[in-house]
Amino acid sequence: MDQFVIQGGTTLNGEVTISGAKNAALPILFAAILADGKSTFSNVPRLRDIGTTEALLRTLGAEVNWRGQLLEIDGAKVDKVLAPYELVKQMRASVLALGPLVARFGKAQVSLPGGCAIGARPVDLHIAGLEKMGATIRVENGYINAHVEQGKRLHGAEIFMETVSVGATENLLMAATLADGKTVLENAAREPEIVNLAECLVAMGAKISGAGSSRIEIEGVEVLRGCEHKILPDRIETGTFLVAAAMSQGEVLCKNTDYHSLEPVLDKLRDANALVEVAQDSIFVSMRGRELQGVNIKTMPHPGFPTDMQAQFTALNVVANGSATITETIFENRFMHVPELQRMGANIRLEGNTAYCGETEFLSGAQVMATDLRASASLILTGIVASGETVVDRIYHVDRGYQRIEDKLSKLGAKIKRRHN
């Protein structure tokens, strides 16, 4: 199992090119199931989760090929509706095959999902929404079995989601594109990745309005065709590199990104006393000659502060001046990085869903264990600024969401190497 070996005490400087967003690419690749034709996607990140998605799509019968930097998926070749446990267990986003399969074929058998162990994240909202659209669903033997009456399709419905769920919004949005009649999603998630998915579906021929708001309306169509679509830049990867610059007292320019999707993160970096400058497709952060200040964080659904940046800001608060609190409202078990940071000397106290960060006297390298995707990023960033050597185990987590993060960090001056055990 691979490890990262990091020699700490370095300052990060330079430019980094941001990859396409994993959280946009995954639902968009599954949307190819809906299309009766070939779709071509650009700016797709080369990640572990993307590879899992490719394998699952091939299992369903799709033709999947890389053409240079373009990923082609022929949804017309899909002829199976079983998403097996062996693949779904590797990535909980695999449940996003459910809506497209039921919408196009009238049936689906999808294993209950896996992925990061950061809370229950049940699929109840996905199931309830599809049932409102006419699907009959049973959950048994670890699988979601869904079907509509022979010869019929899903039908439009008014669906109010009791809690804001990105995954449920995506699944129901995709399913509604091929349903008979109009579907309204109330209390929908508003993330930029959902807007990007809707743009892709519209390019396929779907009729959608309101994506990016809490009310999305979809008028079902008879058939969707293949399309060409570009995945938006990864705002979480961008935020991770900006925090790395601030923590290391350096300055970094992130290229191929979009500041509009990162306003809550940029506001908190400014609160931390970083210099932040934005341009059309780049963001610059500098901490040279500045003192890093702790910042209070409360995660919220978009457009609030993203939960996927919580662990990185926990690490930032560890090296900042003053005390600060981090409150997690999205997931109930997303502080598994805290005990690992404490092994490095971090002054953090956990009470319920809040982490209290005090000033840390000394951070030293240690052997630590990544427990999920963003937790692993926080450990890497802390290792870069800590004194001595840090070894991060179980880095397959980071490979799920960051494209060769060690190469990008090395170009900025970090002393980080991947070691094969």
Determine if residue 125 is labeled as part of a ligand binding site: yes
Owner of token pair 């996927």? 308
Q: What order of strands is seen across the sheet that includes strand 107-111? A: 82-83, 107-111, 143-147, 136-140
Is there a contact between 211 and 194 (Cβ–Cβ < 8 Å)?
yes
3-state SS of 50-63? Answer: HHHHHHHHHHCCCE
306 is in an annotated binding site: no
The Cα-based distances of 314 to 48, 279, 285 in angstroms read 25, 27, 18
The token duo for 207 is: 């009729």
- Judged on CB neighbours under 10 Å (0-12, 13-18, 19+), 420 is exposed
The residue among 173, 139, 117 whose CA lies nearest residue 400 is: 117
CA distance 111 to 95: 8
Q: Are 311 and 378 contacting, i.e. CB atoms less than 8 angstroms apart? A: yes
Say whether 132 counts as a known binding-site residue. Answer: no
Within its chain, how far is the Cα of 54 from the centroid?
Answer: 17
Apex 108 CA angle, 84 and 227, nearest 5: 95
Backbone angles phi, psi at 165, to 5 degrees: -135, 120
316 has binding-site annotation: no
b/e code 192-210 from CB counts within 10 Å (16+ = b): bbbbbbbbbbbbbbbebee
393 is in an annotated binding site: no
Ligand-binding annotation for 22, yes or no, is: yes
116 is catalytic: yes
Contact between 232 and 301 (Cβ < 8 Å): no
Known binding site for UDP-N-acetyl-alpha-D-glucosamine: residues? 92, 121-125, 308, 330
Binding residues for phosphoenolpyruvate: 22-23
Binding residues: 22-23, 92, 121-125, 308, 330
Q: Catalytic residue positions?
A: 116
